[in-house]
Structure 1
Amino acid sequence: MGNDLVLASTSVYRRTLLARLGLPFRCLAPRVDEEAAKAGDWEPQELAEHLALAKARSLCEAEPNATLIGSDQLVSFAGRIYGKPGTTEGAVEQLLAMAGKSHQLITALAVWTQGQTYVHTDITTMHMRSLSRVELERYVAADHPLDCAGSYKLEERGISLFDRVETQDYTSIMGLPLIALTSLLRTLGYPIP
């Protein structure tokens, strides 16, 4: 096991989540062209796992003695994959399409250490309320979820968009499944209470 823990991410959300475990770690930007890595005919879960693995493995040459953590999140809805909307209009359109319906939020975790890889995926079913364009525009203006898969932040006002959330690990909704990660890091010898 590498003693050095590295989060292959620039996400503030993932950094905040990992910090909750109380372990020292560093954050490095993954060396992955995500758009190129998405090329191909992927099922949603396969794509999330592929991207999480690509992020973790992208740093293995530069950090051969580290334990590298990669994660990816996307939304699967009506045969389409939604990622980060990037724009206000894109966020409103994603939310309008999903309003009054259910979708899956898929969060993949990949850990690379000493040539071994471990993958875990959490699938959360999100049941969205029926909401109008005006309500969704008001929400997007309040939370600015332009950097969030599915265009919502459940840890903020986004919780009001949903009737029900079915999940095994609520931290996976925010981008990093800490229950699975804690179990894995403990088996690797990291001192987590």
Structure 2
Amino acid sequence: MKLILASTSSYRAEQLKRLGLNFETRDPQVDEALFKQAGFTPETLAEVLALEKAKQVAGQNPEAIVIGGDQLVSFENTILGKPGSEQAAIDQLMSMQGKSHTLITAIAVTGPEFIETHINQTTLTMRQLDKDAIKRYVQFDQPLDCAGAYKLESQGITLFEEIQSTDHSAITGIPLIALTTLLIKAGVTLP
């Protein structure tokens, strides 16, 4: 059975390799801005985007199992995405220092006669840091393409005093425990 990751994220591809499965990657070409304007809650937005990405690729590959994903940060009633620039990353991290936020990671698995989603929520509490420490971190890790402006798999771990999650792999982009369950339900044989 053909397995496709509907994502151009190198982080998600690296994670999926951990499961020992052969897969292809495809760009889902979903205009996320349209969905962000719809007024969804953060959890619903992440889930809708993950599902839309999977459906987009599945439409061109109806016999394949397709995995879509999305990740965002919910902080003080605001959705934070990828900062895109060093200054935006510094600003995001400065606003979150000493406070907690929720990292929402959603996945969707589609296949012939199969559609299921999963949402993982991780609560992260940042240390109280000064601007120079945050600037040094951003210059080191360059987390410009990461929701929340940090890479926990790298030096970003030093920014936090507490992390609460049922699946730490979700922090990088795919909750692998939940994904494994969904793939088995969809009929994928794991190595």
Report what 1:174 is aligned to: 172
- CA RMSD in angstroms, aligned pairs only: 0.9
Which one of the candidate residues 7, 14, 17 is aligned to 2:15?
A: 17
Quick one: distance in 2 between partners of 1:32 and 1:78? 27
Which one of the candidate residues 119, 122, 138 is aligned to 2:120?
A: 122
Quick one: distance in 2 between partners of 1:175 and 1:30? 16
User: Alignment partner of 1:136: what SS?
Assistant: helix
Q: Does 1:42 align with 2:55?
A: no
Quick one: distance in 2 between partners of 1:46 and 1:173? 18
Report what 1:51 is aligned to: 49
- The answer for unaligned runs of 5 or more in structure 2 is none
Which residues in structure 2 correspond to 1:39-188 (within 5 Å)? 39-188=37-186
User: Alignment partner of 2:139: what SS?
Assistant: helix
Cα deviation code 1:21-60 (max 9, x no counterpart): 0011000000211112222111110100011011001112
Which one of the candidate residues 3, 6, 13 is aligned to 1:5?
A: 3
Deviation at 1:117, TM superposition (A): 1.2
Aligned 8 A contact 2:109 2:183 in 1:
no
Deviation at 1:115, TM superposition (A): 4.1
Quick one: distance in 1 between partners of 2:28 and 2:168? 25
Compute the TM-score of the two structures, normalised by the length of structure 1: 0.97
Amino acid at match of 1:75: V
Amino acid at match of 2:9: S
Deviation at 1:169, TM superposition (A): 0.5
Amino acid at match of 1:32: V
Deviation at 1:116, TM superposition (A): 2.7
Q: Which shifted more, 103-112 or 35-44?
A: 35-44
Cα deviation code 1:57-107 (max 9, x no counterpart): 111221010011000000000010000000000000000000000000000
Q: How many residues align?
A: 191
Quick one: distance in 1 between partners of 2:62 and 2:142? 37
Quick one: distance in 2 between partners of 1:34 and 1:115? 26
User: Alignment partner of 1:145: what SS?
Assistant: coil
The percentage of counterpart residues that share the same residue type is: 49
Quick one: distance in 1 between partners of 2:183 and 2:58? 17
Quick one: distance in 1 between partners of 2:119 and 2:93? 23
Quick one: distance in 2 between partners of 1:87 and 1:112? 34
Compute the TM-score of the two structures, normalised by the length of structure 2: 0.98
